[in-house]
Structure 1
């Protein structure tokens, strides 16, 4: 399969959580900056062409709960994908199967990094939603009928957008779905020296009924490094399911 190299890069608490009250601790901001530098900084370890997140992550980080401005009477759009013109060299890939995110612009800003938005839809997305994306010059990919088609998505990202290296950036359900599907090559964890013990917050990997199972996966440790501000950076190669 012709697809990008995919690494999952996440910052977690000591108890493996990717969100929670520990994120409000001011000192954790120093760890978050280090996390950014590893993948996006001037001397970054990784050289990514884009990064991918789920709908909930996109909404929390970028669209902030805005509802999409849909014209239900919009003229029918052409079938298939839409590739908008952009001068940006990085892409933000947002998994949004039904078309629910309220984008207002075709790019996002993450610290010093600006990226062109690519919406990943299924056939469930409405004509009106796709028309809205076109009016905003937001690229979109159709990958699957009811459920996300991973192979189709990743092939299109490689072939149509020339994405060679893709960062997988959560949430936990999306991360685990890529691991279980065999489409994640590496896991990078920056463990910040904080915890809150909450049972209600999301972990690095999580199953979802009807989508993924708790089949164990093996990893091979590649790198351990003590970082500034009490953090530890771990890198693992993904070996695969252990059944």
Structure 2
């Protein structure tokens, strides 16, 4: 059984990514609707996560050996997850949860193995799939046994 995926997004007319847009337009309609959806898991892209969640300095490694395979690591059993797409493994994390939900990072197979090893040490779940970029269909198939409902959250 695949999870239900709800896309709850806000987009700018010019298409630029601007994660502070919700604060400038006034009102809390976006967040009220998000709260009413009451989804088990949420998903953010790399830019949103970099602005609101990740540490300011990027992840660096001296060992660029790539994962080169579709795989996953489930660090924590939970009702829901805070899912972040980080295709190349560029973000560093201050902890292993976001707003009380354990993290799940989805990356491509080009991600450095040392990035995945770091996530394991931090007790952060991860999925790698897709040769050059994340294969979202396959990521959903891999996540399906442990993720029931996802809200795709994007503020751009």
Shift of 1:122: 1.3
The residue number in structure 2 matching 1:7 is: 6
The residue number in structure 1 matching 2:35 is: 37
Asked if the contact 1:71/1:132 (under 8 Å) is kept, the reply is: no
CA distance in structure 2 between the aligned counterparts of 1:9 and 1:140, rounded to whole angstroms? 23
Cα separation, partners in 2 of 1:135 and 1:5, compared to 1, 3 Å: same
Cα separation, partners in 2 of 1:131 and 1:33, compared to 1, 3 Å: same
94, 108, 120: which is aligned to 1:122? 108
Asked if the contact 2:22/2:30 (under 8 Å) is kept, the reply is: no
Alignment partner of 1:119: what SS? Answer: strand
Give the structure-1-normalised TM-score.
Answer: 0.53
Shift of 1:21: 6.9
User: Is 1:154 the counterpart of 2:140 in the alignment?
Assistant: yes
The residue number in structure 2 matching 1:89 is: 79
Cα separation, partners in 2 of 1:140 and 1:29, compared to 1, 3 Å: same
1:167-211: CA deviation from partner (whole Å, max 9, x where unpaired): 11125xxxxxxxxxxxxxxxxxxxxxxxxxxxxxx4xxxxxxxxx
Asked if the contact 2:75/2:125 (under 8 Å) is kept, the reply is: yes
Structure 2 unaligned runs (5+)?
none
CA distance in structure 1 between the aligned counterparts of 2:57 and 2:73, rounded to whole angstroms? 22
144, 150, 156: which is aligned to 1:166? 150
Counterpart mapping for 1:150-229 below 5 A: 150-159=136-145, 161=146, 163-170=147-154, 202=156
Asked if the contact 2:76/2:102 (under 8 Å) is kept, the reply is: no
Greater relative contact order (CA < 8 Å, ≥ 6 in sequence): 2
Shift of 1:20: 7.2
Asked if the contact 2:10/2:154 (under 8 Å) is kept, the reply is: no
Q: How many residues align?
A: 153
User: Is 1:145 the counterpart of 2:131 in the alignment?
Assistant: yes
CA distance in structure 2 between the aligned counterparts of 1:29 and 1:64, rounded to whole angstroms? 28
